[in-house]
Amino acid sequence: MHCPRVTCITDPDRIRGYLADESAAFHGRADKLYLPETEAQVADVVRAANASHTPLTLSAAGTSITGSRVPMDGGAVLSVERMVSVEQAPEGAFQPAEAAGFSVLLDAESRTAVVPPAITLSALDAILARVGLLYPPDPTELSAMMAGTVATNASGARSFHYGPTRSWVRGLRVVLPTGEITDLRRGDGRAKDGCIRFRAEGRAVEILLPTPDQYRMPATKNAAGLYLASDAEPIDLFIGSEGLLGVITQIEIALTARPEQTLTVIGYFDSRDDALDFVDDGVAARAGKSDGLAFLSLEYFDARALDFMRDRYPDIPQAAAAVLCEVAHGAAPDHSPYPESDMLARLEAGLGARHARLNWAVPGARREEVRLFRHALPEAVNEYVRSRVGKIGSDMAVPHDRLREMMDAYERESAACRVRFVIFGHIGDDHVHLNYLPEDVDQAGRARQAYARLAETAVALGGTISAEHGVGKKTIVDLEGNSVSYLQVLYGREGLEAIARVKKALDPHCILNVGNMVPEEMLG
């Protein structure tokens, strides 16, 4: 494969940094690393790989924890890290804006931006803050690149209020695995007669969708598998596709006004049920059943999680659970914003009604303190497991009316397997992380068995096995003792075959990100 216009690196020492991700659970191999700067260069690389049937693995910032960007079958890596400027200006009153070496096009009046694939969330936020705008999905890792967040349909704490990445993507330019370029817009047309249709460089592309019986998508926050709903638009195929279907080279996003005033508080509860009752109140408020404050996020910490954080935050009281909530002002009866003191009073009343103690309130101007508090737990957990055998962490979510059943299952399975654990995360989206912290190989084996049972439970309750991280190349030992693709737990063998058919329709030689979502043998 020879693309003279593109930077191509063959030095193993320079390639080594692209052979793993943040999980450190996957270690790959590759012969070449391509660093294109333009869409045309991407197309050159992809066309050459397609012609020679060479595996090509796509890479962004490497912040994933599922092995999605790890090249397990050799070949080449294509990193978008040097694609820092927008090439194709759309119609509209867009103006250039820059930060940290990245350049975007911004239309503040229509609250729209066009961004390059390599821009980080932190650089984008710095640009938007100047004009009082916000890109609201709020993925947790600020060093992540936009292409990676779109490829995983990323979400974060504020996704409780704003929704995940999919809700805010308005346009994509994508280089397909054949090297053809397609320009997709939200509103181009939904699937019709079980088929998604779009054009790529003048060629008509048709993708047959599976029936709901073949591929039943969970009615929850979900980042597992392709979006193959019967009402999908062409753009939806590529959001959350984990690099299986094309290379994202440009992204148009919708924006919203930056909240003028926010307040974050944490309430400590003497019982888990009181904490879940308060979560119910926040979910009801989001649904418009409560007047006043807008809950932006609801984050949960169980007693074991609080114990882990107490070294860094010694003022944390003894409690069965805690809920951290961020709110923005609603409208007072005279349509003016609530003052901060009134926001706090309303929150205190809501927490007090659920028997909570409140001892920490942080205004929006000090939001960095909240971010550090949230990160204190995973950092403490990672430090703890570094000298042991690693952690086994879940990413499951269930419908809200089944949350308590899932929480009971977490406690029951974890007690039975006798492995230390913590529970924390985005409980407003009915999505918490259970982290097992085994001391040795025997405990790790028991934890994996419990994990498999919990995955089956989440699916039986109508939920998902991955609500925000995707599945990448993860496998699982199922209840029959077979090592299978993790996604098979959710969609079954028939669902994986449906994904494989879509993959092969767009990528006939199966060159892009082989091993993600479906096992390689299903693509033969």
The domain that contains 141 carries what CATH number? 3.30.465.10
- Name 328's Cβ contacts closer than 8 Å, sequence gap at least 6: 259, 260, 261, 262, 293, 294, 296
Residue 359 sits in the same domain as residue 445: no
Position 522 in a domain = no
- Based on the fold, state whether residues 16 and 30 are members of the same structural domain: yes
| Banded pLDDT at 337 (limits 50, 70, 90) | low
CA nearest neighbour of 166 among 124, 229, 116: 229
Same domain (yes/no): 105, 204: yes
Q: Note down the domain range covering 112.
A: 95-257
Same domain, 404 and 351: no
pLDDT digits (tens, 9 = 90+) for 263-297: 899 999 999 999 999 999 999 888 775 556 789 99
Specify whether 242 is located in the same domain as 114: yes
In the chain, % of residues over pLDDT 70: 96
Last residue of a domain, one of 200, 226, 257: 257
On whether residue 214 sits in a domain, the answer given is yes
Number of domains in the chain: 4
From 35, 50, 79, the end of a domain falls on 79
The pTM of this model reads 0.93
* Average pLDDT of the chain, as a whole number: 92
How large is the average pLDDT for residues 455-479? 93
**pLDDT of amino acid 436:** 96
Q: Closest Cα to residue 174, out of 184, 164, 159?
A: 184
What is the arithmetic mean of pLDDT over 118-129?
96
- pLDDT at res. 330: 55
- In CATH, what number is assigned to the domain containing residue 321? 3.30.70.260
Residue ending a domain, among 44, 79, 114, is 79
pLDDT at 3 over 60: no
Q: Are residues 151 and 181 in the same domain?
A: yes
Q: Is the pLDDT of residue 357 over 80?
A: yes
Segment holding 159, helix H or strand E? helix 159-162
C-alpha to C-alpha distance for 293 and 76, rounded to whole angstroms: 50
How many other C-beta atoms can be found within 10 angstroms of the C-beta atom of residue 40? 15
Residues 233 and 140 grouped into a single domain: yes
Distance CA 236, CA 245 (A): 11
Would you say 86 and 25 are in contact if contact means Cβ atoms under 8 Å apart? Answer: no
Instruction: Record the tokens describing residue 305, joined without a space.
Output: 């999680």
More confident residue, 189 or 339: 189
Q: What pLDDT, on the 0 to 100 scale, is given for residue 346?
A: 84
CATH of the domain at 74: 3.30.43.10
Q: What is the pLDDT of residue 292?
A: 62
> And the tokens for 38?
């333009």
Let me know whether 156 and 237 are in one domain: yes
521 inside domain: no
Is 251 in the same domain as 104? yes
